[in-house]
Amino acid sequence: MRNLKDIFERNRQWAGEINRDQPDFFNRLAEKQKPAYLWIGCSDSRVPATTLCGFDPGDVFVHRNVANIVAHTDFNCLSVIQYAVEVLEVKHIIVCGHYGCGGVKAAMDNLELGLIDNWLRNIQDIINQYRVRLDSVVDPIRRFEALCELNVLVQVLNVSRTTVVGRAWTNGGELSVHGWIYGIDDGCLVDLDICVTGIGELEQVENISLKGIFSRTRIRKKPQEKMC
């Protein structure tokens, strides 16, 4: 099982099709990348940033980790943000969570899964910070949805408070930080109407978004009901 042959076969087919349709495509990409977006999302195999947005190679710079967390001590994530903003000059940073996130659920249920428990402490910090509001959601399914949405909001605020993004705004840079969420059961991307374009907007965005998250009822009333 050393060779995963089928993957290489699919790759040749994929590259061949692109070469046939756009003979210049890979040559152009090889010269430079100029993506307009940075995507910060979950590592979940069901949330493939490029595919679900209908993007091509070159369209989006991507950082993924379990539960799409932006921690101020994570030099991996901070380096991605710095490179994207200062070198690639992306104009939009998208934090995209997803409903049914296993990382968020594990934190909510206090599961013991090993090393990852330490990473998920970031989510438990959110639970502790917003415990009163979360406890006020009676429906457990909606509470889980709300925590997935709340995690997006907190990570948008964390991105907005990084030194890199702060510096970009101070220098008059045009940069927006967006909060979206994705439904793994229907393939639909939802705009949570969380958008920050300057440091002065943080408090208002947090207050309005919290109101939105905790006034919504369950997104899916029946399993077959679709969001888009």
The residue ranges that bind Co ion (CB under 5 A) are 42, 44, 101, 103
Least distance to Co ion from the beta carbon of 126, Å?
A: 14
Give per-residue burial for 51-77: e unless 16+ CB within 10 Å, then b.
ebbebeeebbbbbbbbbbbbbeebeeb
Which residues lie closer than 8 Å to 206 by C-beta, 6 or more apart? 153, 157
* Residue of 12, 46, 72, 131 marked catalytic: 46
Q: Is 92 exposed, middle or buried (0-12, 13-18, 19+ CB in 10 A)?
A: middle
Least distance to Co ion from the beta carbon of 51, Å?
A: 16
Does the annotation mark 143 as catalytic?
no
Does the annotation mark 46 as catalytic?
yes
Least distance to Co ion from the beta carbon of 196, Å?
A: 22
Least distance to Co ion from the beta carbon of 62, Å?
A: 15
* Residue of 44, 63, 77, 96 marked catalytic: 44
For residue 153, give the nearest of 124, 118, 193, 119 by alpha carbon: 193
Distance CA 111, CA 45 (A): 21
Least distance to Co ion from the beta carbon of 61, Å?
A: 20
* Residue of 42, 77, 96, 148 marked catalytic: 42
φ and ψ of 41, to 5 deg: -140, -175
Does the annotation mark 98 as catalytic?
yes
* Residue of 77, 96, 101, 148 marked catalytic: 101
* Residue of 77, 96, 98, 148 marked catalytic: 98
- Residue number, 158 or 175, with CB nearest to Co ion: 158
- Residue number, 103 or 179, with CB nearest to Co ion: 103
Does the annotation mark 195 as catalytic?
no
Does the annotation mark 44 as catalytic?
yes
Q: Is 98 exposed, middle or buried (0-12, 13-18, 19+ CB in 10 A)?
A: buried
Q: How many CA atoms lie within 13 A of 132 on its CB side?
A: 1
- Residue number, 23 or 114, with CB nearest to Co ion: 114
DSSP summary character for residue 182: E
- Residue number, 86 or 125, with CB nearest to Co ion: 125
- Residue number, 148 or 168, with CB nearest to Co ion: 148
Please state whether 68 falls in left (phi above 0), alpha (psi between -120 and 50) or beta. left
Q: Would you name the residues annotated as active-site residues?
A: 42, 44, 46, 98, 101
